[in-house]
């Protein structure tokens, strides 16, 4: 990065003489012109340690007068994911509208009240937690250095996704004769995360992973195509958020393996919270009961429902462990919270 | 267990038989659970099956449900109907679910229309509880507009068709892209960091701001791609003193007015002008899309300002400070981040050799920006002209010297 000459007020034409990158062109690939396509140019080199904490875009010529912003992560390892650009572009391609992409008319007006109210209970819970999943990444967007701006763009796409999830579950609760129910514990304990990597471990890897399993089992708990579509589309979004978490933590361990115990510590805390109302995503009593009724197909089939919920819980834990293995934290099997370890296969 | 009189009445209304009621009273179910079963309109046959499951599994605590959610304190019976544009947020803002109180009473993540469950109430990190500090009438519609109008820079822009441009034009386009991409980066940072401060009851505003910070990210992406797609490359950074007002905002309204009224009224005019004059159809398309997005943000800012002026008891006094700081930061940015002015003059004039015409066109642009800004404030019942930052007026009066 070079420094531009200091300018005085007036029409400054110094930018006409910046010759370093003249003639270099980023070429579109089969997915259009993506952020990854830009990395072929010299401006695509992502520095391991960012420059001065100003707002200078990576590759732009700095103005030495630029004010600083002291609350930015400078080390790439603190925030980076090798998949950030890909996931952002995928997020752009897969935006959807809860207003028109959900076949709302497919929800039968005559759903049994226990099914309708169970769905409203689940939706009340989901509309609570999805906003937390947007507020928290929003907090950290301001702390991403412009040299690593692709991460900031990805987080912005996540905040957008979570707003849409908040809206779609609210809409489902209000469209078929039910309503929201009283609010139980959501996931606001996640807001205690004080560091980007802690946020990623607790929100992306753990919390979103558990919610993702619910979404992917939407076929089991839905009675109609509208609900199936909601869960399918939300799961698609959630997969990106999870992938970001996994790839960030993997990158961190690849370049700073000495931070392994720190990651374990975050997970010790989060796993320890499971089973307590505040941290117990999907295990608070109201949500658990609602899930079981939906999975069984009614309160008169609650035994079948709980068998399916247990299967879901098992799936949650095993998918979580698989992600840990991908990150390089397979040794967590031995130290996983006992209430979770009992669900592990093999 | 003996059922309470009220529950007995309800069993009769539900046509449950005396035999079944007797069976219930001999079971481990509580009166409260029976009432909840009745609230869920469970028939005797289905309730009987549930009871059989419990009786067959006396050691299985999971089957003994509380059903505490069956009789919430919220409004039920809501049946929102999709409108011509699908099921939008305005369509579900009905009954108590559409009544946004002037002061949001809950410090946790209780959604609008719901109420906290006693014993399950942990305060969150929200700090904005007054509706007047964030609200804009029709924000729910603006949210749906943003979703509907989404576009994808990677594939919706025909990047291969920009065509060869004269070097000065290409470099000027790239310089403008560098400047406004940087502004977008700061815009999304600020809006993102304020999301968690806004109480949950104002979810329509939180949702809209999510679309705006997403739009801002798309602006960064699209403008960076443009700068790198046609041989020009990134230019000189914008000075960034503009953001002092944004980062320094101490109230939500201060931030929203600084970005979505003061700054956006300037940004929209630039984008619209570039969409009209740039020689490449691809560039015109790009800036027209950006102008459309920015207009939505400006509309939100305007509506918020209107609401704030009419509903916040200290609005007029506070706005003096908010507007003065935001105008000053914008004026400083334009005066001292001179690369933007030079690039705009080249583009508006049609090339370096027509810089004199470009300087006059730039003056006209500055005048149009100031006029748009002041007219918006007029419409919000804020007569700003007598006290507007003199630097902004000076820019409108005389072109910057070449």
Q: What is the pLDDT of residues B100-153, one digit of tens each?
A: 999 999 999 999 999 999 988 889 999 999 999 999 999 999 999 999 999 999
pLDDT tens per residue, chain B (402 residues)? 899 999 999 999 999 999 999 999 999 999 999 999 999 999 999 999 999 999 999 888 888 899 999 999 999 999 999 999 999 999 999 999 999 999 999 999 999 999 999 988 889 999 999 999 999 999 999 999 999 999 999 999 999 999 999 999 999 999 999 999 999 999 999 999 999 999 999 999 999 999 999 999 999 999 999 999 999 999 999 999 999 999 999 999 999 999 999 999 999 999 999 999 999 999 999 999 999 999 999 999 999 999 999 999 999 999 999 999 999 999 999 999 889 999 999 999 999 999 999 999 999 999 999 999 999 999 999 999 999 999 999 999 875 643
The number of beta carbons lying within 10 Å of the beta carbon of residue A165 is 25
What residues are paired with A236 via a beta bridge?
Answer: none
Q: Taking a contact as any Cβ pair under 8 Å apart, which residues of chain B between 374 and 393 contact chain A?
A: none
CA distance A161 to A94: 10
Say whether residue B355 is in contact with chain A using an 8 A CB cutoff.
yes
pLDDT at A4: 53
pLDDT score, position A283: 53
Beta-carbon separation of A178 and B232 below 8 A: no
Contact B85 A7 (CB under 8 A): no
Quick one: pLDDT at residue B62? 84
Which residue in B145, B183, B235 has the most chain A C-beta atoms within 10 A of its own C-beta, making it the best mutation to test that interface? B235
Tell me if B195 and A135 make a contact (CB, 8 A cut-off). yes
Question: Phi/psi of residue A11, each to 5°?
Answer: -90, 105
Which of A27, A92, A102 to substitute to test the interface with B, most B CBs within 10 Å? A92
**How wide is the angle at C-alpha B100 spanned by C-alphas B96 and B101, nearest 5°?**
105
Q: How far is B252 from chain A (nearest CA, A)?
A: 15
What distance in Å separates the CA atoms of residue B27 and residue B2, rounded to the nearest whole number? 10
CA atoms lying within 13 Å on the CB side of residue B226: 32
Q: A255: which 2 tokens? A: 């370049």
DSSP A4: E
Closest CA to B258 of B324, B308, B208: B324
Residue of A nearest to B178 (CA): A60
| Residues A266, A270, A273, A279, CA torsion sign | positive
Question: DSSP string covering A109-147, please?
Answer: TT--HHHHHHHHHHHHHHHHHHHHHHHHHHHHHTTB-GG
Helix/strand/coil for A32: strand
Q: Is B281's Cβ below 8 Å from some Cβ in A?
A: no
Cα gap A337→B241, rounded to integer Å: 50
Q: Do B192 and A149 touch (CB under 8 A)?
A: no
Report how far Cα A138 is from the mean position of its chain's Cα atoms. 11
Q: Given CA atoms A51, A56, A61, A67 in this order, what sign does their dihedral have?
A: negative
Question: How many CB atoms are located within 10 Å of the residue A68 CB?
Answer: 11
Alpha-carbon distance A105 to nearest alpha carbon in chain B (angstroms): 9
B149 and chain A: CB distance < 8 Å anywhere?
no
pLDDT at A10: 59
User: Distance between CA A284 and CA B312 in Å, rounded?
Assistant: 39
Please judge whether B68 and A286 are an interchain contact, meaning their C-beta atoms are less than 8 angstroms apart. yes
**Given pLDDT bands bounded at 50, 70 and 90, which one contains residue A315?**
very high
Q: Which chain A residues contact residue B154 at CB under 8 A?
A: 28, 31-34, 89, 92-93
CA distance B275 to chain A (A): 21
The tens digit of pLDDT for each residue in A255-281 reads 999 999 999 999 998 988 664 433 344
Contact B173, B277 (CB under 8 A): no
pLDDT for res A280:
42
Whether chain A has a CB inside 8 Å of the CB on B99: the answer is no
- pLDDT in the model for residue B59: 87
A105: left (phi over 0), alpha (psi -120 to 50) or beta: alpha
Mean pLDDT, residues A83-91 taken together: 98
pTM as predicted:
0.96
Apex A302 CA angle, A298 and A307, nearest 5? 125
| Cβ contact B134:B103 at 8 Å | no
Assess contact for B381 and B309: CB atoms under 8 A: yes
Q: Considering only CA atoms, which of B220, B278, B314, B250 is closest in space to residue A92?
A: B220
Q: Is the ipTM of this complex over 0.90?
A: yes
Residue of A86, A96, A84 whose CA lies nearest to A149:
A84
* Nearest CA-CA partner of A117 in A294, A304, A285, A308: A294
* DSSP assignment of B3-63: --HHHHHHHHHTT--HHHHHHHHTSS--HHHHHHHHHTT--HHHHHHHHHHHHH-TT-GGG
SS3 A183: strand
Cβ-contact B94, A180 below 8 angstroms: no
**Which of B45, B86, B154 lies closest to A92 in CB terms?**
B154
**What pLDDT is attached to residue A275?**
45
Q: Return the structure tokens found at A331.
A: 């040794």
């Amino acid at each position: 990065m070079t420094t531009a000459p200091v300018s005085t007020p007036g029409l400054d034409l110094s930018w006409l003489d910046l010759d370093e990158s003249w003639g270099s062109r980023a070429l579109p690939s089969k997915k259009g012109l993506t952020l990854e396509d830009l990395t072929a140019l010299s401006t695509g080199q992502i520095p391991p340690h960012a420059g001065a904490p100003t707002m200078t875009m990576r590759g732009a010529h700095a103005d030495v007068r630029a004010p600083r912003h002291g609350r930015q992560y400078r080390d790439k390892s603190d925030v980076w994911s090798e998949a950030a650009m890909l996931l952002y572009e995928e997020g752009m391609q897969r935006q959807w509208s809860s207003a028109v992409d959900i076949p709302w008319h497919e929800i039968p007006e005559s759903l049994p009240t226990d099914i309708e109210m169970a769905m409203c209970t689940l939706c009340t819970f989901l509309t609570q937690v999805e906003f937390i999943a947007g507020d928290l990444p929003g907090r950290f967007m301001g702390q991403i250095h412009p040299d690593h701006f692709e991460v900031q763009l990805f987080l912005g796409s996540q905040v957008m996704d979570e707003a849409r999830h908040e809206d779609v579950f609210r809409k489902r609760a209000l469209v078929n004769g039910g309503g929201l129910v009283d609010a139980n514990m959501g996931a606001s304990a996640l807001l205690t995360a004080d560091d980007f990597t802690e946020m990623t471990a607790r929100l992306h890897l753990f919390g979103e992973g558990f919610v993702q399993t619910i979404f992917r089992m939407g076929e089991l708990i839905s009675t109609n195509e509208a609900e199936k579509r909601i869960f399918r589309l939300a799961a698609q979004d959630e997969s990106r958020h999870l992938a970001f978490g996994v790839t960030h933590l993997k990158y961190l361990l690849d370049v700073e393996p000495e931070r392994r115990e720190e990651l374990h510590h975050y997970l010790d805390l989060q796993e320890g919270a499971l089973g307590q109302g505040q941290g117990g995503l999907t295990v608070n009593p109201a949500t658990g009961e609602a899930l079981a009724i939906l999975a069984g197909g009614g309160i008169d089939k609650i035994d079948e429902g709980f068998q399916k919920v247990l299967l879901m819980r098992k799936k949650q834990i095993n998918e979580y462990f698989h992600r840990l293995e991908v990150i390089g934290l397979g040794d967590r099997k031995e130290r996983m919270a006992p209430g979770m370890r009992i669900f592990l296969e093999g | 267990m003996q059922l309470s009189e009220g529950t007995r009445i309800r069993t009769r209304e539900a046509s449950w038989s005396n035999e079944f009621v007797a069976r219930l009273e001999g079971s481990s179910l509580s009166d409260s659970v029976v009432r909840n079963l009745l609230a869920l309109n469970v028939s005797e046959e289905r309730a009987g099956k549930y009871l059989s499951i419990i009786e067959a599994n006396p050691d299985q605590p999971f089957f003994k449900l509380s059903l505490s959610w069956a009789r919430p304190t919220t409004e039920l019976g809501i049946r929102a109907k999709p409108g011509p544009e699908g099921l939008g947020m305005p369509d579900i803002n009905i009954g108590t679910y559409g009544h946004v109180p002037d002061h949001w009473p809950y410090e946790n993540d209780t959604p609008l229309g719901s109420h906290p469950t006693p014993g399950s109430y942990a305060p969150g990190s929200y700090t904005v509880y007054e509706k007047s500090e964030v609200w804009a009438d029709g924000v729910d519609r603006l949210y749906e507009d943003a979703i509907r109008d989404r576009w994808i820079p990677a594939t919706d822009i025909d990047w291969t068709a920009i065509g060869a441009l004269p070097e000065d034009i290409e470099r000027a386009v790239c310089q403008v892209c560098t400047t406004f991409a940087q502004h977008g980066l700061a815009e999304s940072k600020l809006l993102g960091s304020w999301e968690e401060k806004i109480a949950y009851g104002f979810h329509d505003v939180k949702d809209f701001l999510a679309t705006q910070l997403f739009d801002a990210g798309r602006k960064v992406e699209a403008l960076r791609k443009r700068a790198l797609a046609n041989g020009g490359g990134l230019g000189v950074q914008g000075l960034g003193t503009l953001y002092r007002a944004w980062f320094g905002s101490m109230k939500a309204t201060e931030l929203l007015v600084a970005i979505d009224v003061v700054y956006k009224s300037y940004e929209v005019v630039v984008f619209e002008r570039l969409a009209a004059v740039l020689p490449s159809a691809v560039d015109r398309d790009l800036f027209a899309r950006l102008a459309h997005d920015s207009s939505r943000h400006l509309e939100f800012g305007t509506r918020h300002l209107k609401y704030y002026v009419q509903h916040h008891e200290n609005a007029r006094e506070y706005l003096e400070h908010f507007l003065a700081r935001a105008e000053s930061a914008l004026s400083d940015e334009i005066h001292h981040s001179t690369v933007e002015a030079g690039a705009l003059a080249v583009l508006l004039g049609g090339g370096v050799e027509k810089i004199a015409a470009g300087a006059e066109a730039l003056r006209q642009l500055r005048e149009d920006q100031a006029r748009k800004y002041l007219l918006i404030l007029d419409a919000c019942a804020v007569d700003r002209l007598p006290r507007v930052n003199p630097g902004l007026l000076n820019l409108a009066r005389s072109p910057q010297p070449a």
